Amino acid sequence: MPTSFLTAVPQVVNSMEIAKLPIKTSSTIAELSDQLLSYEFELIKDINDTGWSATRHFLPWTGPFYQKTFADLFGICHESTDSLIGLVRDNVTNHISRFHQERQGELEFISLFTDELPPQDWIIRSEHRRELLDLPSLKLIDISADLPHAIQNYTVVFAPRAGHHSNIAEQVAVYMRDQGMTRMAVVEQKCAEDIPLYVNGQRHHEDFESQIDQYRQILEHVRTLTGHPAHLVAICQPGPLLLLTLILHPELGKTFGSAGSPMHTEGESGYLTDFARNMGENYIDNMIALFCHTVSDEHVGVGRKCFDGRLQVLGFYLLGMDQHMANFKNLLSDLKEGNRPSAERQKVFYQWYNYVHHFPASFIRDTYKRIFIRNELIRGTLNIGGRTIGIKDYPVGTPIWAIGGKEDQIAPPLQATGHMDFIDGIAPEDKLTLICEGGHMGLFRSNRILRDYYSRIVRFLLDRSDIQAGE
């Protein structure tokens, strides 16, 4: 699996490597100059100290009445020349150090795009998470709080398959857990190269039906563990599929919620849906034909056809280029000025953002055609296992919530929440629709949105949870 989306354009990486050479040279020269000047100024200081020390030997010649006066004068002169030397040294070396810091910052910035990226994993340490289930394309990971649980329902956060590692869902899951949803699990999506082509001797097709079947297995498993259905939380892409799973198996969900999900792709105009409908259904088939590769022998998914996730990440860059350019400008400035805390936050984000996961070809085809072009969930034409279902089949006994972001370019707010208008029969207090000031990534990473909006979602879930008797 490539570690960076830029491996798709090696010419750019090579140009960046070449750009490093003069920066490295000037940085090395500055470092050597700083060392040389420091040595020279130390030598000057030693000579100055020696000179004034020698001068003090002449104090007895000044006579007993003037010896103290001259000693004080020599001390003042010695201190003044020391101070002048220090001032000149600091002035010169500070300029050189700043020049060196700026060149090092530039090198670190370029290296973010040229060097091998660190493998991505969950931020929660391994001793605080437990794998509950390992399915062909998904892992169910327990990150519950280490304390007695009053709430009997798991909250299961489904991470998106969107070209990145699933830890994008971690901040939401941890916040909800720490606010009271103590039984917490996250669902990790595997890279296509890690999804076996055959399972139990049978050819495994990783399409919508396969995803929904694995969602079902996860929800059945957590219900078996507690005896109670789970709170379902979809982060972006899983929204429509998780809702379909609930429609097919209403006994498996205590509540359902989605954040920034493409639920009603005709709810309002959006770049992705407008582009997809303008290009037509055959576009994705042509893209798969051009940019699909077969998984090689060194991976678990050997033989599987998968769509190159680097194109997905490149598309995200193009979609939010203005914001990315502003981020890069701030990151470069922080690196050059030595503002490490701010720089590290941005570096961690882009190390995650640039580290790609590939898509099973059949899954990306289904997503493009059935969600972004046909809007089958809302139109009620989605066929799963021989049964045609849609939003009108939503189980009205299951409370539902949705959140969208006003600045979201991936799933604009009415695409993320418009499905709520098609669900009838649910009591108004069991429907929660939230629109926040924020973009797509902000829905999952912003502390402000977590505090101001997810806190309301947690209260909504707590009020509808199964509480242990006596608690």
Cα separation values, 415 from 273, 331, 380, 420, 435, Å: 10, 32, 16, 10, 11
- 308, exposed or middle or buried, with CB in 10 Å at 0-12, 13-18, 19+? buried
Q: Are the beta carbons of 461 and 255 closer than 8 angstroms?
A: yes
Average of pLDDT values for 268-295? Answer: 92
Q: Tens digits of per-residue pLDDT, 239-265?
A: 999 999 999 999 999 999 999 999 999
Average of pLDDT values for 442-455? Answer: 95
Q: Are the beta carbons of 155 and 183 closer than 8 angstroms?
A: yes
Q: Where are the alpha helices (DSSP H) in 338-464?
A: 340-354, 361-366, 376-379, 413-417, 442-445, 447-449, 455-462
- How many other C-beta atoms can be found within 10 angstroms of the C-beta atom of residue 324? 15
Q: Are the beta carbons of 71 and 59 closer than 8 angstroms?
A: yes
Check residue 7 and give its pLDDT.
81
Q: How confident is the model at residue 9 (pLDDT cuts 50, 70, 90)?
A: confident
Instruction: State the Cα–Cα distance between residues 392 and 389, nearest whole angstrom.
Output: 8
Residue by residue, DSSP assigns 404-425 as EETT-SSS-HHHHHGGGGG--S
Q: Tens digits of per-residue pLDDT, 397-440?
A: 999 999 999 999 899 999 999 999 999 999 999 999 999 999 99
Q: How confident is the model at residue 208 (pLDDT cuts 50, 70, 90)?
A: very high
Q: How confident is the model at residue 69 (pLDDT cuts 50, 70, 90)?
A: low
Q: Are the beta carbons of 259 and 172 closer than 8 angstroms?
A: yes
pLDDT of 70 strictly over 70: no
The lowest-confidence range among 131-140, 172-181, 204-213, 318-327 is 318-327
Check residue 65 and give its pLDDT.
52
Q: What is the pTM of this model?
A: 0.86
Residue by residue, DSSP assigns 188-255 as EEPPGGGS-SEETTEEPP-SHHHHHHHHHHHHHHHHHHHSSPEEEEEESTTHHHHHHHHHH-GGGEEE
Q: How confident is the model at residue 449 (pLDDT cuts 50, 70, 90)?
A: very high
- 180, exposed or middle or buried, with CB in 10 Å at 0-12, 13-18, 19+? middle
The lowest-confidence range among 143-152, 278-287, 315-324, 446-455 is 315-324
- How many other C-beta atoms can be found within 10 angstroms of the C-beta atom of residue 146? 6
Q: How confident is the model at residue 60 (pLDDT cuts 50, 70, 90)?
A: low
pLDDT of 40 strictly over 70: no
Place of tokens 């040389």: 36
At 456, phi and psi to the nearest 5? Answer: -70, -40
Q: How confident is the model at residue 457 (pLDDT cuts 50, 70, 90)?
A: very high
Check residue 72 and give its pLDDT.
62
pLDDT of 233 strictly over 90: yes
231: which strand partners?
155, 255
Average of pLDDT values for 290-307? Answer: 93
Check residue 86 and give its pLDDT.
65
pLDDT of 48 strictly over 70: no
Q: How confident is the model at residue 62 (pLDDT cuts 50, 70, 90)?
A: low
Check residue 6 and give its pLDDT.
80
